């Protein structure tokens, strides 16, 4: 069973982000009808017609989004009718519903909305609670079996309820009687290739056991790496056992690097660890410039453990607020292991917290030297009079570097708290 998606709209080819694709892609995968292709076409009759013909020749289900509006460049109804060789018929009952929607908002219906009351012969209308354009489903029977065209409007606030309320129930049971289960493992504090080396034997092959099949993929984003494990099959308990075995293999290889699964977010994981240990934390930032405090305080309830943060950009403020010694700054420079350690200890003492966390480094784009290049960073953690410090070298833009430092600092903190 092949499913394809055609997105219609010139705006999608000239700068507008298409969120319908992502939404439908996920939902269709969940019901066992994963998209095998997506095509975006402009509001152009010929290009759309050609794409639709190609798509129909390859697939069992073609979903279209967009082009159902009331203006001259809304071509979906007409083009699909033409390609199928069917007529468009005016439906008074559809017009009545559209008029009522305007009436409820005390508006008169503009004349051009009338075109939304045309239905392709033999199609079923799909109710649209939010907007004025009904969707349509056309079922085609031919020698090769049955094909379906599903037409949805483009705005997500119309498309999403129509999908949940009508399309998914309509398609349910059509999907290959296939269960699809997904586990996402989040990893920080290591590079993509570094983690790949450790897990390639586990993840680089599709495996099957009878009709159950699993596969892995790696998705890096902003200093964080996700390993995605997808299982497909028809027998739920066999599939669960298969996934569980793979999950355990993964944890045996890289369990220490996995900070969470699914919706878990690193700053929340760290927050929960602090609460569990009944620890408080204070943060001293130089190169991250407030980002680390910002991430930690994004977590609701963080005031329970976060006492304060300081962003000491100048040497003077490192001395005044954190009591970093002038001699240390002079001898080693602001970007050094020694200063990072004194910052972490200084901020912990100032706050009387259990933990002090500090960052210092060169975020660039300027300010680097041959011995201290852009991207050189020290992260220090002070805990009960003991202090640890790590050196890193990151690349990317100023913002990229800030983001990576923040993720690595949170991960270092997580591992320290786990001990």
Q: Does 97 bind a copy of itself (CB under 8 A)?
A: no
Using alpha carbons, select from 330, 308, 306 the residue that is nearest to residue 319: 330
CB of 58: closest distance to a copy of itself in angstroms? 9
Both tokens of 47, joined, read 């290009």
Residue at token pair 């109804």 = 77
Considering only 29, 65, 354, 382, the residue that binds a copy of itself (CB under 8 A) is 29
Residue with smaller CB distance to a copy of itself, 267 or 338: 267
Both tokens of 410, joined, read 């949170």
Query: Long-range CB contacts (< 8 A, 24+ apart) of 87-90?
Result: 87/120, 87/121, 88/118, 88/119, 88/120, 88/121, 89/118, 89/119, 89/120, 89/121, 90/117, 90/118
Considering only 59, 312, 354, 382, the residue that binds a copy of itself (CB under 8 A) is 312
CB of 323: closest distance to a copy of itself in angstroms? 13
Q: Does 106 bind a copy of itself (CB under 8 A)?
A: yes
**Interface positions, 110-129, toward a copy of itself (CB under 8 A):** 110-113
- Determine the size of the site formed for a copy of itself (CB under 8 A): 113
Q: Does 375 bind a copy of itself (CB under 8 A)?
A: yes
**Interface positions, 139-178, toward a copy of itself (CB under 8 A):** 155, 157
Residue with smaller CB distance to a copy of itself, 62 or 311: 311
Considering only 279, 350, 372, 415, the residue that binds a copy of itself (CB under 8 A) is 350
Question: For a copy of itself, which stretch binds (CB under 8 A), given 87-95, 103-111, 256-264, 381-389?
Answer: 103-111
Both tokens of 165, joined, read 């309320």
Q: How many CA atoms lie within 13 A of 116 on its CB side?
A: 28
Residue with smaller CB distance to a copy of itself, 192 or 244: 192
Question: For a copy of itself, which stretch binds (CB under 8 A), given 34-42, 136-144, 324-332, 382-390?
Answer: 34-42
- The span from the CA of 344 to the CA of 359, in Å, is 8
Neighbours of 30 (CB within 10 A): 15
- The span from the CA of 12 to the CA of 18, in Å, is 6
Q: Does 201 bind a copy of itself (CB under 8 A)?
A: no
Q: Residue 95: CB partners within 8 Å, gap ≥ 6?
A: 114, 117
Question: For a copy of itself, which stretch binds (CB under 8 A), given 140-148, 235-243, 292-300, 381-389?
Answer: 292-300
Q: Does 194 bind a copy of itself (CB under 8 A)?
A: yes
């Amino acid at each position: 069973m092949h499913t394809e998606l055609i997105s219609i709209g010139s705006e999608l080819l000239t700068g507008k982000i298409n969120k319908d694709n992502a939404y439908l892609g996920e939902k269709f995968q969940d019901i066992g009808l994963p998209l095998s292709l997506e095509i975006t076409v402009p509001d152009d009759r010929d290009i759309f017609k050609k794409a639709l013909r190609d798509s129909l020749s390859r697939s069992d289900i073609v979903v279209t989004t967009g082009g159902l509006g009331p203006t001259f460049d809304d071509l979906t109804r007409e083009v699909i009718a033409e390609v199928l060789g069917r007529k468009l018929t005016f439906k008074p009952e559809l017009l009545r519903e559209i008029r009522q929607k305007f009436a409820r908002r005390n508006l008169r219906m503009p004349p051009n909305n009338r075109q939304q009351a045309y239905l392709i012969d033999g199609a079923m209308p799909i109710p649209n609670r939010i907007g004025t354009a009904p969707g349509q489903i056309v079922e085609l029977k031919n020698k090769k079996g049955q094909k379906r065209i599903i037409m949805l409007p483009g705005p997500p606030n119309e498309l999403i309820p129509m999908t949940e309320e009508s399309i998914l129930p309509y398609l349910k049971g059509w999907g290959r009687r296939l269960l699809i289960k997904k586990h996402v493992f989040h990893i920080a504090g290591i590079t993509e290739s570094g983690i790949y080396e450790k897990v390639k034997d586990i993840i680089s092959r599709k495996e099957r056991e009878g009709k159950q099949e699993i596969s892995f993929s790696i998705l890096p984003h902003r200093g964080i790496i996700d390993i995605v494990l997808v299982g497909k099959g028809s027998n739920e308990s066999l599939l669960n056992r298969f996934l569980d075995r793979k999950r355990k293999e993964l944890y045996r290889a890289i369990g220490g690097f996995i900070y969470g699964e699914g919706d878990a977010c690193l700053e929340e994981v760290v927050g929960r660890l602090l609460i569990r240990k009944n620890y408080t934390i204070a943060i001293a930032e130089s190169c991250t410039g407030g980002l680390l405090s910002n991430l930690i305080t994004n977590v609701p309830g963080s005031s329970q453990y976060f006492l304060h943060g300081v962003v000491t950009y100048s040497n003077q403020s490192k001395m005044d607020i954190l009591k970093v010694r002038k001699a240390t700054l002079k001898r080693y420079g602001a970007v050094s292991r020694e200063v990072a350690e004194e910052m972490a200890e200084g901020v912990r003492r100032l706050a009387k917290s259990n933990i002090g966390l500090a960052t210092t480094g060169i975020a660039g784009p300027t300010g680097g030297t041959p011995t201290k290049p852009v991207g050189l960073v020290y992260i220090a953690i002070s805990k009960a009079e003991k202090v640890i410090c790590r050196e890193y070298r990151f690349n990317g833009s100023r913002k990229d570097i800030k983001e990576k430092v923040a993720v690595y600092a949170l991960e270092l903190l997580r591992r320290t708290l786990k001990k």
